Amino acid sequence: MNIAILKAELLAGHPSTGNYNADPVLAAAEINLANIDRNRASMTGSEILNAVDAGEWGTRDATQKQTVWDVVHLGTINPFGVEATLITTAFSDAGGATIAALQAARKEKISQATALGLGNVRPGDIQKARV
């Protein structure tokens, strides 16, 4: 645990919720709460495929389906790279459910502790940082 980083965070306050609670148990809960959106670095083909709306899939032509199939079989996929562009293009004229689901899936919720590289912060860590 990097107490210096934790101390600075406790003094600055949470970027979304403000000052941390004076009670170390509650302050630890606040800093560990997963309430910050972060772009995911990668997704699996299965995660991509599971975001595809079945009704929209049925309206794709053979070329569009092949593009999606090729992308999901790449293994690890960059949800903000060329792969995302190919999938988005394949569904650009669909109803929008697939694209909305993929946009949501490429984000993840993390805690401020994770964002700071602290891992799980315990009440004892809070107490140490506040002395």
Query: What pLDDT was estimated at residue 67?
Result: 92
Q: Which residues face 76 on adjacent strands?
A: 44
**Positive or negative, the Cα torsion across 66, 54, 48, 94?**
positive
Contacts of 70 (CB under 8 A, 6+ apart): none
Give the residues across from 110 on adjacent strands. Answer: 36
Per-residue tokens: 67: 């593009």
How far is 102 from 1, CA to CA, in rounded Å?
Answer: 35
Q: What is the pLDDT, as a whole number, of residue 110?
A: 95
- pLDDT tens by residue, 68-105: 999 989 889 999 999 999 999 999 887 789 999 999 99
Mean pLDDT, rounded, for 58-64: 93
According to DSSP, the residues that pair with 77 across neighbouring strands are 43
Query: How far is CA 83 from each of CA 8, 86, 104, rounded to the nearest angstrom?
Result: 39, 5, 16
Question: DSSP character for 62?
Answer: H
Residue in the block written with tokens 């792969």: 83
Question: Which of the four pLDDT bands, split at 50, 70 and 90, describes residue 1?
Answer: confident
Q: Are 15 and 115 in contact (CB under 8 A)?
A: no
Segment 39-55, tens digit of pLDDT = 999 999 999 999 999 99
Strand intervals (E) in 68-131: 76-77, 107-111
